[in-house]
Amino acid sequence: MKLESVELRRIRLPLVAPFRTSLGTVREREILLVRVVGPDAEGWGECVAFVEPFYSYEYVGGAHDVIREHLLPRLFGLDDVTAELVAPTLQGVRGHPMAKGALEMAILDAELRAQRISFGEYLGGARTEVDCGVSVGIHENVDELLRTVESYLEEGYRRIKLKIEPGQDIEPVRAVRERFGDILFQVDANAAYTRLDGERLAQLDEFGLLLIEQPLAEEDIRGHAELAKVVGTPICLDESITSARGAEDAIAMGACRIVNVKAGRVGGYLEARRVHDVCRANDVPVWCGGMLETALGRAANVALAALPNFTLPGDTSASGRYYAEDICEPFVLHDGRLAVPTGPGLGLTPIPEVLERVTTSVEICRPEA
């Protein structure tokens, strides 16, 4: 496909409720959408960077700039752009996996729409629906936390993930476990702890958690390996896993027994599939993480989560978990699961009037004459 134009669209969506983690509190999402247009097809991508660089060094404004100034000129220079060519073509630009992943997603969507193939079929999905978990932010009040968890369980979510940080960990976890009994339950630290916190984190062992996600800094692979010798609960890595090779190294070092796969974090869905394959070869289960995506990103995540080694419920929540109004037909939970879209490409497109209402800016980029 020869790229004729690429639309960089910024939108703003309020969350139905503030979402607090150890990294900060999110009240709305400013999102960069990418629409690629070729002679016979178009496709959509979503950049999962936040408006501020707190999850990683990437942020919305920076992603917009690097796409326009550094990534698109390289792709516009190709006579035939395919999703498989995106990563090698852009490797001269260091880093920026979320920006690169958004472009790859859009190009792959266009390719698959033209070929009448769904994302799930292309990636190798093994199921038609996926089990869904939900991520619960930090609550100062335990009673409010219990009410929140209860509401999600009543909606049918099959796994609860609780954000934790020092001082907001042992007692909230205890309260949830005592109140709700033998539910699937895990915690996410977003790198809020240090190597000195091993004994404290080991106190979580008594609660029978599925995993402790990313307790230490992303670069501290050795620290996670040492922590795994002290803590009985399986360690899961998130921010630390930035490629399939990185996953293989972390597994070999004993730094994790489970991996959270986020396509944006590793540069796109093709590399995410390679992470899945590496983990499967090493008998390490994976699950699909979330970045408060719109239905566009959620469609791709649900397709990814249908691969065979995604054996744990992911953060593939229904649209209504985050947004009162999504930009596409919303994903709705049925018996704790979401259906994998079967239409060509992502299987859905933005609703024009909704998209227009939430758009804050649009920039059209074209190859130089």
Residues with catalytic roles:
163, 262
Contact at 8 Å (CB) between 319 and 332? yes
Pairing of strands 337-339, 159-163: unpaired
Radius of gyration of the chain (CA): 20
Is residue 245 left, alpha or beta, with left meaning phi > 0 and alpha meaning psi from -120 to 50? Answer: alpha
Tokens found for residue 305: 């989560």
Instruction: Report the distance separating Cα 332 and Cα 129, nearest Å.
Output: 12
DSSP 118: B
Which helix (DSSP H) or strand (DSSP E) does residue 18 occupy?
Answer: strand 5-21
DSSP secondary structure string, 25-72? EEEEEEEEEEEEE-SS-EEEEEE---SSTTSSS--HHHHHHHIIIIIH
Tokens found for residue 247: 């996953």
The three-point CA angle 290-292-297 to 5° equals: 75
Pairing of strands 159-163, 185-188: parallel
Contact at 8 Å (CB) between 140 and 171? no
Tokens found for residue 239: 């921010």
Tokens found for residue 2: 């020869």
Q: 């969507």: which residue's tokens?
A: 109
Residues 6 or more apart whose CB falls under 8 angstroms from that of 142 comprise 171, 172, 175
Instruction: Report the distance separating Cα 146 and Cα 143, nearest Å.
Output: 5
Buried b (16+ CB within 10 A) or exposed e, 285-308: bbbbbbbbbbbbbbbbbbbbbbbe
